[in-house]
Structures are given as structure tokens and as C-alpha cells.
Amino acid sequence: MEEQFVSGIRGDKGGMVMVDGGELREILTRLGSVPVRRTPGGSAGNTVFDLARLAVPTALLGTVGDDADGEFYRAQLAAAGGSTHALRRSVSAATAACLCLVTPDAERTMRPALAAALEFDPAGVTEADFAGYTLAHIEGYILAHPEDKVEHLLKTAGAAGCMISLDLASFEVVNAFRPAILRLVEAYVDVVFANSDEADALLGALPPEEQLTRLQLLAPVAVVKMGEKGAWVGRGGEKSFAPAQKVAAVDTTAAGDSFAAGFLYGLLKGWDDARSARFGAAVAAETVQVFGAALPDDAWMRLRNLAQAQE
């Protein structure tokens, strides 16, 4: 994808701007002969898919359309080993789609059309939705819903006995909902993930270690992801650093989601934070070497072998 094309559409390069179905189709039309690849996605969805491929029992709570894309998503989740029982089906809206435009520097620019995803009602969840699970991983995009509904979701997951992790999703989300994020994270979240841009938007343009210190005041476990510069993890005032693996990146789409999956895998296994972060870096390193968020089978074999060696 040429830089000129990305600069010619609405919004900034490297960020996320919501579009409707019409604008998404218009951008696709303008792409012409540029190859387009379809993979299952979504911020929390990517993390759930990765955990499923690592043999962690998972389910995805959300809404898809009653259409071909919805069936594709269900089938892909089942094939990965995840449960589809919690996926609602909309009878009126199309399955959400996100166009990820990848430039030669491997940076991704996202233009999502949420469609059926907006029909998911956080206020409608019950403790039964979390039965049998110990962790609820939530994406920052949930804040597009009213704050009181998001709070109900967080309260319900916690009451069901789940640890709650939250990925801030994008700096645009943080800019739009900063007061709500600060309040909800401090009140309900056990593990919070922020990349450098998100941490800047939430806490100010500070050195990553200082951002980590401040983020730890909000949640027991805090992670600041810095892409190719590695990641900082903080818990109880202690800090650990995990370097990024040196690989040839072609697409950074879902790299942060994959890091979260690897880190949460280690957390669920009882690993220390440094080991969990290193495994997160390994999953992210595999992800940036392919286009899209779906890794090939040989990558999963390497990652499962690596995880087994950590036991």
C-alpha cells in the first residue's frame, strides 16, 4: 500500500477512524487492483484467537451479522479451537469489518465499520456469560458504548470471578474517553495494556518507565508496549523489561493483540511477569512477519513448543 493512498483518505496514518459501510466500500473501490486479504480480526478477537491456538479454553462474547462474513468468523473461531456459544447474531446488521491499510514501513492504518458489533449490549451480559472462565479480556473499543453499560460489563465479569484485562485499543479511543478510562481502570481492571501512543494520550508524553509507574497506580498489573523497542511490565512497584525480537516486519496489524495473548497465556500459567512478557514478544514477532492477524500452522507449532519449554 503506497503512502500516497493512505494520505488521501480521511484520518491520520497509523491510527483508527470509524467509518460506515458506505465509506468502507468506497475505499475498497478506490483500491482497485491492490490485493485484499480477508482474515478474522477485532482487537479482543485477535487475542482470543491466539489464546485458542495456544490451547487455552476461550469464548468470544460479541455480535456478528447473519451473513457470509459472520459464518466465516464463526467457522474460523471454531477451527482455532475457540467456542462460538457466546457470539450473538444480528438479524439486521452486517458483520463488522476493519480495513487495515499496510504501508511499506509495515505500519497499519485502520478504518473499521462496526455495524453488527454496535448491537452488542454490554448491559445485557450476565454472570452466566462468564461461567467457566477465569479471565475476561476486553478491548478499549467497548467504550463506544455508554459508560454505565461498560461499567455493568466490568462489574458482572468481576462478580463472576474473572480477572479483568483491558487493552486501550488506540490513542483515538483514549483521547475520546480518557476520563472514563481513568475511572473504570482504577475501579475494575486487573491488567491494563497500553502502547506508547495510548500511554501518551492517557498519561502525557513521559518516558515509558514513568508512564509505567503512573499506570501501576490505576491497575495491579500494567504493561506499556513500545513495538520494536520492547515492553515494560509493572506489578506492585516492581518493573521488568522484555526486549522485542529482531525480525523483518511486514505488517504490524494485531502485534499488540498478539503480545497481549502471549502475556496473558503466561499469566494464566502462573509464570512471572518477565517470562510472560518475553513470550508475548515472541507471539508478536511471529505476527508482524505475516500480513493480517492469522498465523500459519508452522508459527503456532514454534510458539507451542516454546511455551512447553517454559513449563
CA atoms of 136 and 291, how far apart (whole Å): 27
Burial-class residue 38 by CB neighbours within 10 Å (0-12, 13-18, 19+). Answer: exposed
Average pLDDT over residues 184-197: 98
- Domains, the chain, with CATH or none: 3-310 (3.40.1190.20)
Per-residue pLDDT tens for 32-42? 888 888 899 99
| Amino acid letter, 88 | R
CA nearest to 61, candidates 78, 47, 44, 38: 44
CB contact set of 245 (below 8 Å; sequence gap of 6+)? 281, 282, 284, 285
Predicted structure pTM score: 0.93
pLDDT at 96: 94
pLDDT > 70: what percent of the chain?
A: 100
Chain length of the chain: 311
CA nearest to 112, candidates 42, 30, 62: 42
pLDDT at 237: 86
pLDDT at 55: 97
pLDDT > 90: what percent of the chain?
A: 81
pLDDT at 11: 85
CA atoms of 181 and 138, how far apart (whole Å): 12
Average pLDDT over residues 218-223: 98
Average pLDDT over residues 287-302: 93
